[in-house]
Amino acid sequence: MSARHRRLLTTTVAVVGAAALVTGCTGNTPEASESGSGSGGNNAASSNDDPGDTVVIGFSAPAADHGWMAQITAAAQAEADRYEDIDLRVAEGTNDVSAQIAQVETFINDGVDAIVLLPFDGDAMTPIALEAMQAGIPVINVDREFSDPNAARVTVLGDNYGMGISAGQYICSELGDQPDAVVAEVAGIDSLPLTQERSQGFADALAECGLDVDNRVAAEFTVESGEEVTANLLQAAPQIDAIWNHDDDQGIGVLAAITNAGRDEFFMVGGAGSANAMRSIQAGDSVLQATVIYPASQAADGVRLARLLAQDKGLSDLTDVEVPRQITLSAPVVTADNVDQYIDSAFES
């Protein structure tokens, strides 16, 4: 996991900002296309969007057991529907690794042109992905990385460390002039590497402006656990200036606990970017002031990249002939000022 972490760090530095390029790979207006990805409406300007040979893409992802994951598959499907030359074969979402391996085997036997794979467990899916690559089928690895770089032609990653950085920098910009400000953190499941990366980024960014995390609790990405740990957290810290909550799904519970306790002396930053949270930010009726996006459009990006690969095209906004090896999506901060740009592509929790 530490190797994976290190790699994530380097790629973060190397390819931050590539998100705009990816989603807008065929357009002149990356900003607009970002909000439009998944729901259509790109302004195509290059020949990349012109119909080519029909491409059969196999798609496999974990079970859509929460809003973000449901949006992953929905966005991928929606993206495929926009291109008449994509034939997307969506396997039933599963959290069973052996079932997912069987799905990839089926794709290989069917001789699909490319596979977009969001593995339930990156390590466990690496051998079968290698097999697909050796069979000449490019694999696009989404979100959870394989343990072997040869197992994927392209890797599209969200930026968990960057989420922490974005949240930390936003809180710094709001509280930077108060060195003794109290900052609290409601993390997700602590044993997951993604939670550790988010917390690390958050701590690093806060340290830049002389702040630190005074109180930290960990929930389980569910509404109920969010409410429970936050109720205790609010007791632990009688006075808070800012809270970062890692996940907007559990954020509903976090907000309920805050309302129950009648507290409003602080502001809160969310994570992941659910439509609920964005509507709240838009309305400005709660302590939720901003949220940090973990894009649910990554699989949709994967589908588009798969199409380009199968049709021997490159990213039209890059000079390079080939599609890049690895793309790390940006983790922008959404506030009342720019929420309109993002709310259309947000997921319903």
Partner 1 sequence: MSTPTTQAPPATGTAPRRGTGGSFLSGSVGRNAGLVIALVILCVVGVVTAGDRFASTDNLITILRLAAVTGVVSIGMTFVIIGGGIDLSVGALVALSSVWATTLATQALADDIHWIVMVGTALLVGGLAGLVNGVVIAYGKLVAFIATLAMLVAARGLAEILANRRTQTVKNDGFLDFFTASPLGLPALVWIFALVAVVGWVLLNRTTFGRRTFAVGGNAEAARLAGIRVQRHTVALYVLSGITCGIAAVMLMARTTTGSSTHGTLLELDAIAAVVIGGTLLIGGRGTIVGTVLGVLIFTSLSNVFTLNNISSSAQAVAKGVIIVLAVLLQQRVAAGRKQRRSPASTPPTAADGAPAGASPGVPAP
Residue ranges that bind partner 1, judged by CB under 8 A? 64-67, 70, 190-191, 214-218, 220-229, 231-236, 238, 249, 252-253, 256, 259-261, 276, 348-349
Nearer to partner 1, 60 or 225 (CB): 225
**Quick one: 33 or 225, whose CB is closer to partner 1?**
225
Output the six-digit token pair for 108: 């290989």
User: Tokens standing for 90?
Assistant: 């969506």
Decide whether 21 or 231 has the Cβ nearer to partner 1. Answer: 231
- Cβ at position 38, least distance to partner 1 in Å: 17
Helix or strand holding residue 155 (H, E): strand 154-157
| Cβ count near 272 (within 10 Å) | 30
* CB 201, min distance to partner 1, A: 18
Residue type, 24: G
Residue with the two structure tokens 């929930």:
219
C-beta closer to partner 1: residue 146 or 221: 221
We find the least distance from the C-beta atom of residue 348 to partner 1, in angstroms, to be 6
Least distance CB 65 / partner 1 (angstroms): 6
Strand partners, 217: 186
CB of 118 to partner 1, least distance (A): 16
For partner 1, the closer CB: 73 or 326:
73
CB of 199 to partner 1, least distance (A): 11
Q: Which of 205, 189, 148, 139 is nearest to 4 (CA)?
A: 148
| Longest CA–CA separation in the chain, Å | 63
Of 18 and 187, which CB lies nearer to partner 1 in the complex structure? 187
Buried b (16+ CB within 10 A) or exposed e, 76-107: bbbbbebbeebebbbbebbeebeebbebbeeb
The least CB distance from residue 163 to partner 1, in Å, is 20
Nearest approach, Cβ of residue 258 and partner 1 (Å): 11
Of 87 and 220, CB closest to partner 1? 220
Tokens at residue 268, please? Answer: 């809160």
Strands 288-293 vs 333-335: parallel, antiparallel or unpaired = antiparallel
What sections of 135-222 are H helices per DSSP? Answer: 160-175, 193-208
Structure tokens at 216: 């930290």
Closest to partner 1 by CB, 123 vs 220, is: 220
Q: What is the DSSP secondary structure assignment for residue 80, as one 8-state letter?
A: H
CA atoms 334, 340, 345, 346: torsion sign:
positive
Task: Match 């990385």 to its residue by tokens.
Answer: 145
**Measured distance CA(158)–CA(152) in Å, rounded:** 16
